[in-house]
Amino acid sequence: MKRIGILHHPKLSRSRPLAQEIAEWLAARGLAPWQVSSWDKTAVEAEIEELDLLITLGGDGTILRAARMGAHHGVPILGLNLGRLGFLAELQPENWQTQLTKMLEGGYWLEERMMLHAEFLQKGECRRAFEALNDVVVSRGSLARIVRLKAYVDGGYLSTYAADGLIISTATGSTAYALAVGGPILPPQLHNILVIPIAPHLSLNRAVVLAEGSTVSIEISTDHRAMLTIDGQFEVELQDKDKVRVKASPYRANFVRMQEPTYFYRTLMARLRPAGGE
């Protein structure tokens, strides 16, 4: 690794000074750091082909954003947690020097995680396409009224959901929005897709775990506005009879890990433990 991008969070006051400190530390060891806001997509995309690593300073949202930008180029990600949960992060503010030293000495491994490819179709034509690391959500808009979502798996009819929405999630996303609505927790190395309804009304109210390689198609039926949301970070307005198609992305998110491969379960239990619990 030689050329290292450092993405700071523009709304976290300690993120930019810490990015500068890390950049100076890397430069002193003969590396070539480059800094930019994680929200500056244009700047990142112009530089990313030349990078060997992306270090993110923020929460899981910053890592999700970096994953979507870096996946097309296979650039691995190393997250430093400045957020609340930090399910995806590897570093903490108090240990980054020790861990970066370990990485530079070769004491790391790469964890590959599946991503999703989502297409928004209108009158049979693909209008936009997206990559997601956590989830793709089709849901009601601002009005508190259910939408009807007809779901198909590999072209075969699954169910019609009358609900607030439907979450299509990766194993990575199983500890995010999917977990909040009662979905199962999947280990991150799995390549299965989860289909989970949000507040279903007199319709299927269980999560469905799909086989690797499945394609989910959703047809929207509503007399008001619906929304397509990617990783909880941006949205597209949907209308009656629009369709969303989701499958495994050809791209993968790669994370630099220094912990042992069983770290996921330890991290999970630490995050789920009630305050003051043992």
Q: What are phi and psi of 211, to 5 degrees?
A: -65, 155
In sequence order, which ranges of 93-185 are alpha helices (DSSP H)?
96-104, 177-180
> What gap in Å lies between CA 6 and CA 91, rounded to an integer?
13
Q: Pick from 187, 243, 180, 188: which is nearest to 215 by CA?
A: 243
pLDDT of residue 110: 96
Active-site option among 40, 52, 60, 240: 60
Neighbours of 123 (CB within 10 A): 8
| Consecutive 10-residue averages of pLDDT for the chain (278 residues) | 94 95 97 96 92 95 93 93 87 94 96 96 94 96 90 97 96 95 94 96 93 95 93 93 97 95 87 59
pLDDT of residue 83: 81
> What gap in Å lies between CA 11 and CA 16, rounded to an integer?
9
Task: Classify 201 as helix, strand or coil.
Answer: coil
Determine whether 240 is an active site residue.
Answer: no
> What gap in Å lies between CA 181 and CA 118, rounded to an integer?
21
Q: Would you say 247 and 216 are in contact if contact means Cβ atoms under 8 Å apart?
A: yes
Q: How is residue 136 annotated by DSSP?
A: E
**What is the pTM for the complete model shown?**
0.91
CATH topology (fold) of 115-250: Tumour Suppressor Smad4 (2.60.200)
pLDDT of residue 270: 82
Domain boundaries of the chain, sorted by first residue? 3-108+258-272, 115-250
CATH topology (fold) of 3-108+258-272: Rossmann fold (3.40.50)
